[in-house]
Amino acid sequence: MKEEITAKTVSQLSRLLAKKEVSAVETVSAYIQKIQDLNGSLGAYITVTEKAALKQAEEVDRLRAKGESLPLLAGIPVGLKDNICTKGTPTTCASRMLEGFVPPYNAFVVDLLESQMAVMLGKLNMDEFAMGSSNETSYFGPVRNPVDTERVPGGSSGGCTAAVAAGLAAFALGSDTAGSIRQPAAFCGVVGLKPTYGAVSRRGLVALASSLDQIGPITKDVGDSALVFEAIAKHDEQDATSVRREYPPLAKILEKGAEGLRIGLPKELFSDIISGEVKTAVKAAAERLEALGAKLDEVSLPLLKAAHSACFVISAAEASSNMGKFDGIKYGYRAKDCGSIDEIYKFSRSQGFGRGVKRRILLGNLFLSAGHYQKYYSNALKIRTLIRRDFENVFEKFDLILTPTTPTTAYKLGEKRGDPLEIYMGDICTAAANMAGLPALSLPCGADLSGLPVGMQLIGNAFDEPLIYRAAYAYEQSAKTARRKDD
């Protein structure tokens, strides 16, 4: 039964809990047992909050026994990326710099989950300070892909996607700056959403690049993604970037299907930069959507490649600014035996940050320096404006854009570690949506010849998450039906 519990979707668990066919304590215990069994080999969790989780579960069961009506997520186990602040629980960003740091407050999304009575299982591993695409840069060790433990899970939210794929969390919240939810979701065969910029509050998220970052859900299927998104897409008066936006009930929208939706396929992302097996799987998915009544046609987004490069410049520049507060003075790692404040800064940052973070800070400072600001940062902002216009032109004629999520499937651990630029190219399909602030979702659409998951990405106009969910759910249900017939 424990194995069955951890295989259930959020929606299935919610119904079982509401009917009292399983208790919250049984549910949480099953997940904790699986974490104990598998986390040593996967490295998905940095911190496991077993005692607190069981206490939360007991409270859910007590209230349910009294006959109280509880929220849909009551008793559902969740894992949080370790750059989302949690009061009383360490938030390390997978870095020596923040090892042992315990925030005095919750992120806004954590408060929302607590109001829904979701049960936090712990904090999930990631690339250090979210600067990476393979989840190999964590101070606490790499995360392994549960589909093939010799391969990377993707990053930077690799701990989140590995946990959901392996049944170590019913769902997870990650963050996405250039593809950090969607790329690992594709590698691990789960569903990951980057919401519209401003749809989900960033308050309490340790910032990488403030104009690009978004918190989003990682789930087993599309229905769960919509359910969790509804729970966290709330206006936050204390976040200046949070937009007051009311979404219609997504459960009803899911059933509307893909018929009549106009979907564009950018020719730039069906070119030689994408592997043949990935292209084949995504084109087959496009044909399935067409069979379901969607209208597909080729489109052009000529600045996609430039958007990817500009995204790196902007993220590095903003990261170099955001990292300035980690200095070994007020909190975080402080080097020993320093004779002056200059030495505290120098040695604390040198020893506290990993190689990839230091590289990003140095590049960001270069991009912002007097001699290079116009050439790099200023031009990157201009490209951002142009890519937004490209998307606007496409959305005048189309409802959604369909692309591969990644150019390849998951590669082996260590295979690309010596070439950071090649690793960064893993975001070539995803970065443009962050640059334009648009919603984008990755969902599984098959596998390569080695059995590794392939992900397809649906991009919508601002706040068009409902349309994305319509198309994604229609495809997912049709694919499930086809698999059952094949079996």
Q: Average the pLDDT over 198-204 and give the result.
A: 98
Look at residue 398 and tell me whether its pLDDT is greater than 90: yes
Quickly tell me which residue has 């035996």 as its tokens: 337
Residue 10: its pLDDT value, please? 98
pTM value is: 0.97
Look at residue 159 and tell me whether its pLDDT is greater than 80: yes
Look at residue 223 and tell me whether its pLDDT is greater than 90: yes
Q: Alpha-carbon distance 274 to 266, whole Å?
A: 12
Per-residue HEC secondary structure of the chain comes to CHHHHHHCCHHHHHHHHHCCCCCHHHHHHHHHHHHHHHHHHHCCEEEECHHHHHHHHHHHHHHHHCCCCCCCCCCCEEEEECCECECCECCCCCCHHHCCCCCCCCCHHHHHHHHCCCEEEEEECCCHHHCCCCCCCCCCCCCCECCECCECCCCCCHHHHHHHHHCCCCEEEEEECCCCCHHHHHHHCCEEEECCCCCCCCCCECCCCCCCCEEEEEECCHHHHHHHHHHHCCCCCCCCCCCCCCCCCHHHHHCCCCCCCEEEEEHHHCCCCCCHHHHHHHHHHHHHHHHCCCEEEEECCCCHHHHHHHHHHHHHHHHHHHHHHCCCCCCCCCCCCCCCHHHHHHHHHHHHCCHHHHHHHHHHHHHHCCCCCHHHHHHHHHHHHHHHHHHHHHHCCCCEEEEECCCCCCCECCCCCCCHHHHHHHHCCCHHHHHHCCCEEEEEEEECCCCCEEEEEEEECCCCHHHHHHHHHHHHHHHHHHHHHHC
Look at residue 305 and tell me whether its pLDDT is greater than 90: no
Here the tokens at position 365 are: 């400072």
Residue 14: its pLDDT value, please? 98
Q: Average the pLDDT over 179-194 and give the result.
A: 98
Q: Which of 237, 222, 126 shows the shortest CA–CA distance to 176? A: 126
Quickly tell me which residue has 């004629």 as its tokens: 397
Instruction: Respond yes or no: is residue 180 known to be catalytic.
Output: yes
Q: Which of 34, 81, 234, 416 is catalytic?
A: 81
Look at residue 447 and tell me whether its pLDDT is greater than 80: yes
Look at residue 1 and tell me whether its pLDDT is greater than 60: no
Residues 429 and 404: beta-carbon distance below 8 Å: yes
Instruction: Respond yes or no: is residue 81 known to be catalytic.
Output: yes
Quickly tell me which residue has 């859910």 as its tokens: 60
244-301 pLDDT per residue, tens? 999 999 999 999 999 999 999 999 999 999 999 999 999 999 999 999 999 999 999 9
Q: Which of 156, 175, 320, 348 is catalytic?
A: 156
Residue 284: its pLDDT value, please? 98
Phi then psi for 62, rounded to 5 degrees? -65, -45
What is the fold, at CATH topology level, of the domain defined by 2-306+380-486? Amidase signature (AS) enzymes (3.90.1300)
Residue 141: its pLDDT value, please? 97
Sign, CA dihedral 401-80-231-246, equals: negative
Q: Which of 133, 138, 180, 242 is catalytic?
A: 180
The CA dihedral of 49, 94, 133, 433, to the nearest 10 degrees, is 70
Instruction: Respond yes or no: is residue 156 known to be catalytic.
Output: yes
